[in-house]
Amino acid sequence: MAKVQTTCPRCRQPILVEIQQLFDMNTDPTAKQKLLGRTVNVAHCQNCGYEGMIASPIVYHDPAKELLLTFFPPDMGLPVTEQEKQIGPLIKQVVDSLPNEKRKGYLFQPQTMLTYQTLIDRVLEADGITKEMMEAQQKRVGLIQRLLSTQNAEERISLIKAEESIIDGNFFAILSTLIESTIMQGDDKGSQILAGLQKELLENTKIGQDLLTQNKESQAAVKALQEASKGGLTREKLLDLILDAKSENTLGTLVSLARGGLDYQFFQILSERIEKADDDTRQPLIDLRDKLLTLTRQIDEEVQKRLQAGSDLLEELLKSEKIEEAIQQRLPELDDYFSQAIQMEFEKARKAGDLARIEKIQKVISVLEKASAPPPEIDLIQKLIDTNSEEDREKLLAENESLVNDDFLKAFNSIIAEGESRKQSPELLEALRSAYKSALRYSMMKNLKAQA
């Protein structure tokens, strides 16, 4: 993005703003995220504190959806001929970045968006997100804000009851995201307030009570599997657990957790029970077998789909001229299935003796290991809680003296507070508190020496 000097809309003082006019999914996979997140073309004035978007021409391109959109802010007050002069080079840049075989008719008929919001709506519409869906999402967010601003518990519950029609799975998903975000930011008070609101919503809505029931059923299924595994989990034991499942949710949990045990031998055992069953119990067993076959097929199809997506993403990264930069842009998409895809492709390349491909895959692995490594402060905290000797702790702190400062102690304290709020194991909390005391003591001694 280019830095452009402009004037603050409020105080008219000169400011520098990073401006991005072209959002091309063909060359930048994060382009849509930047546009929808409204994180670009934003002015921050140090003089008066103004923060807001700066009017700028925009071209958005998504070749996968054959979408080429243009937006020219009306408040810039430029004639059409001048607008075309500014938009034209951006469209040319889009076309030039595509190989000849991918240059299709839509590139020569860009759609003009009259407002910035219309531009956003059109991008979302292409993803299957309708205006009605966006409005529903805004209502959910608005309700969360209203609930947070309502201090009286009785009034809050009355509001929950009145608006229960929009409190659904998506509503709880938004709330969970907000809780995770506040925890990541170290906002303990904010996360506790949101968690308290979540508890009220779970207890005072039908969907909340259903979610609580499902959660209890899932926990019970996990516990039952753990108990059965203590003496060795056999296929016969697994079948007995499945036969005892009292709900679809319990059955689904058992199947998803123990998918590896539902193999040919498992279904052979089930078929034998069907053959030995009397007329009254045979049909329910047959129905169960059909249901289990359907569930396992759905799980396998989903796994295969995600593995293929991981493999496709790996191929895309391997073709990139700047692998490290490409990986950084796609980090949020790199999950366990991507890791499995790497292992599978590495093994294929090894068997084929493809040294060039092996080298590229190893480079991807190296970049991932570097990106997933914990920050040095977190690594130091982990080493401190793994060390019981006070002498060894002092040695560790001395070796990492530059890290031991007020920010380090604040982060350490936040980790302890989060552990307490999540009711983590007493042993872990005690280890954290003990290590924190050592770090605090070392920091105080360091400060005293500096003042001497």
Q: Domain spans of the chain?
A: 2-129, 133-204, 226-292, 304-372, 376-451
The predicted structure's pLDDT at residue 184: 65
The predicted structure's pLDDT at residue 373: 66
The predicted structure's pLDDT at residue 128: 83
The predicted structure's pLDDT at residue 383: 87
User: In angstroms, how far is the first alpha carbon of the chain from the final one?
Assistant: 49
The predicted structure's pLDDT at residue 316: 84
Residue pair 383/396 in contact by the 8 Å Cβ criterion: yes
**How are beta strands 22-24 and 58-62 bridged, if at all?**
parallel
Residue type, position 355, single letter? L
Q: With 90 as the cut, is the pLDDT of residue 290 above it? A: yes
**How are beta strands 22-24 and 14-19 bridged, if at all?**
unpaired
Q: With 70 as the cut, is the pLDDT of residue 1 above it? A: no
Instruction: Categorise residue 66: left if φ over 0, alpha if ψ from -120 to 50, beta otherwise.
Output: left
The predicted structure's pLDDT at residue 75: 80
The predicted structure's pLDDT at residue 117: 85
pTM here? 0.55
Give percent above pLDDT 90 in the chain.
30
Highest mean pLDDT among 119-123, 132-136, 238-242, 332-336: 238-242
The predicted structure's pLDDT at residue 252: 92
What number is the average pLDDT over the span 402-425? 80
Q: Which two tokens stand for residue 40?
A: 């670009």
The predicted structure's pLDDT at residue 240: 93
The predicted structure's pLDDT at residue 366: 85
Residue pair 53/42 in contact by the 8 Å Cβ criterion: yes
The predicted structure's pLDDT at residue 452: 59
Q: What is the CA radius of gyration of the chain?
A: 29
What number is the average pLDDT over the span 417-441? 82
H helix or E strand, kind and range, residue 38: none
Q: With 80 as the cut, is the pLDDT of residue 430 above it? A: yes
The predicted structure's pLDDT at residue 53: 80
What number is the average pLDDT over the span 231-253? 92
Give percent above pLDDT 70 in the chain.
97
> Residues 394-409: pLDDT tens digits?
888 888 888 888 888 8
The predicted structure's pLDDT at residue 185: 65
H helix or E strand, kind and range, residue 58: strand 58-62
Highest mean pLDDT among 36-50, 78-92, 236-250, 313-327: 236-250
Which of the residue ranges 3-12, 62-71, 203-212, 281-290 would you say has the lowest mean pLDDT?
3-12
The predicted structure's pLDDT at residue 372: 66
Residue pair 291/255 in contact by the 8 Å Cβ criterion: no
Which has the higher per-residue pLDDT, 267 or 402?
267
Q: Which two tokens stand for residue 259?
A: 């998918």
The predicted structure's pLDDT at residue 160: 94
Q: With 90 as the cut, is the pLDDT of residue 267 above it? A: yes
H helix or E strand, kind and range, residue 112: strand 111-113
> Residues 364-399: pLDDT tens digits?
888 887 766 667 888 888 888 888 788 888 888 888
Residue pair 275/308 in contact by the 8 Å Cβ criterion: no
Which of the residue ranges 4-13, 177-186, 350-359, 442-451 would you say has the lowest mean pLDDT?
177-186
> Residues 37-62: pLDDT tens digits?
766 788 888 888 777 788 888 999 99
The predicted structure's pLDDT at residue 146: 92
**How are beta strands 42-44 and 22-24 bridged, if at all?**
unpaired
User: Across all residues in the chain, what is the average pLDDT?
Assistant: 86
Q: With 70 as the cut, is the pLDDT of residue 420 above it? A: yes
> Residues 309-342: pLDDT tens digits?
888 888 888 888 777 777 777 776 777 888 888 9
> Residues 184-202: pLDDT tens digits?
666 778 888 888 999 999 9
